[in-house]
Amino acid sequence: MTRVIEPQPKILDITLYQSGASKIEGQDNAIKLSSNENPFGTPDSAKTAFAKAAYQLHRYPNTDHASLRQAIGDVHGLDAQKIIVGVGSDEIITFLCQAYAGVGDEVIHTEHGFSMYRISTLAAGATPVCVPERERVIDVDAILAACTEKTKLVFIANPANPTGTMVGQREVSRLADGLPAQAILVLDGAYAEYVEGFDGGAALIETRDNVVMTRTFSKMYGLGGARIGWGYGPQEIIDTLNRVRGPFNMSEPQLAAAEAAVKDREWVEKCREDNARLRAWLAEALMEHGVPSDTSCANFILARFINEAEAEGCDDFLKANGLLVRRVGGYGLPNCLRITVGDESSCRRVAHTIGQFLEQNR
């Protein structure tokens, strides 16, 4: 018998997700500025809650996540019924693709968009459609022009990764209102906490039935290792996503840590202020070395070099000096390096080292 074991269509088109490097061969104290993690770590409130939950590990977790959803709802002024919790916002993205896109359907992402949109689209058997951006900013007209009767989902991150740029509320509304009747706009708000006074698009959802927002505990809340994210959207869509969600997708330590973290408003204020101050300093310092970047609204800077060779050379030089940043050639930005805003000493060190490299190489 000749076997013909084959995966579902599109699965083999998936290129594996590349995470930010975390180790440098032969160096123990590398400074990691490659994954947009919080340089101040995890709030003590969340670590304590996580540890306490260890005493109940023999119990199955609750399945409705009511307590965490209520806490998120209270903090953000949202209806807890319309919140869904997942294993990172990645899982919410997976649910959306699984529930709304299949073979023959199209899912739009943009030129420099987050790679999980494409991966989850292919995993669902659907066809990813890549739309150009305008100078590293999402182009609403280009997205609308790319929509067809097959478009089921449109993913944008606001602020975006790896560009750090944002589109305004009016543009986002125009996008939502211009989509074909069968399409959902997904607003990925992984970095929304870094923008003072920004609701991630929540208000838009109250007045529309085709917009969903995803959020994460991985960035500002310093819980990337614990894998917690959430989504907010119209009741009908959230109810649909809950049908594909595994009942025990979240463990109790995850739920407890997230609940403590979201209530820790002091942490959020402090991290937002520190990030804004250090980000401005870092952008300015790089500019003085002749390395421009777009105004970033997130916790990283996309540094633009003269060409790919210079970006790669600088990355190698940083590595040799114990500093890890992110190459973004895979995001169509080969002449750029994405640098997470670290603590003050990391920012100084990365700026100084880039300055040294350019002094020797320009």
Residues engaged in binding ligand PLP (CB under 6 A): 36, 88-90, 114, 157, 161, 188, 190, 216, 218-219, 224, 229
| Helices 344-361, 265-288: crossing angle, 10 deg rounding | 20
When the beta carbons of 258 and 358 are compared against ligand PLP, the nearer one is 258
Shortest approach of ligand PLP to residue 25 CB, angstroms? Answer: 26
When the beta carbons of 61 and 86 are compared against ligand PLP, the nearer one is 86
Shortest approach of ligand PLP to residue 317 CB, angstroms? Answer: 26
Q: What is the DSSP letter of 84?
A: E
What percentage of the chain's residues is helix, strand, coil (to nearest 5)? 45, 15, 40
Shortest approach of ligand PLP to residue 188 CB, angstroms? Answer: 5
When the beta carbons of 53 and 93 are compared against ligand PLP, the nearer one is 93
Shortest approach of ligand PLP to residue 112 CB, angstroms? Answer: 11
When the beta carbons of 90 and 252 are compared against ligand PLP, the nearer one is 90
Helix (H) / strand (E) containing 169: helix 169-178
Shortest approach of ligand PLP to residue 34 CB, angstroms? Answer: 12
At a CB cut-off of 8 Å and minimum separation 6, what does 123 contact?
10, 11, 14, 94, 97, 98
When the beta carbons of 90 and 105 are compared against ligand PLP, the nearer one is 90
Q: Residue with CB nearest ligand PLP?
A: 88
How far apart CA 210 and CA 285 sit, in angstroms, is 42
Q: How many CB atoms lie within 10 A of CB 88?
A: 22
CA 360 to chain CA centroid, Å, is: 35
Tokens of 241: 């996503």
Q: Which amino acid makes up residue 151?
A: T
Q: Closest Cα partner for 31 from 351, 308, 290?
A: 351
Return the SS3 of 88.
helix
When the beta carbons of 100 and 114 are compared against ligand PLP, the nearer one is 114
How far apart CA 345 and CA 63 sit, in angstroms, is 43
Helix (H) / strand (E) containing 215: strand 211-216
Shortest approach of ligand PLP to residue 85 CB, angstroms? Answer: 11
Shortest approach of ligand PLP to residue 95 CB, angstroms? Answer: 12
When the beta carbons of 127 and 218 are compared against ligand PLP, the nearer one is 218
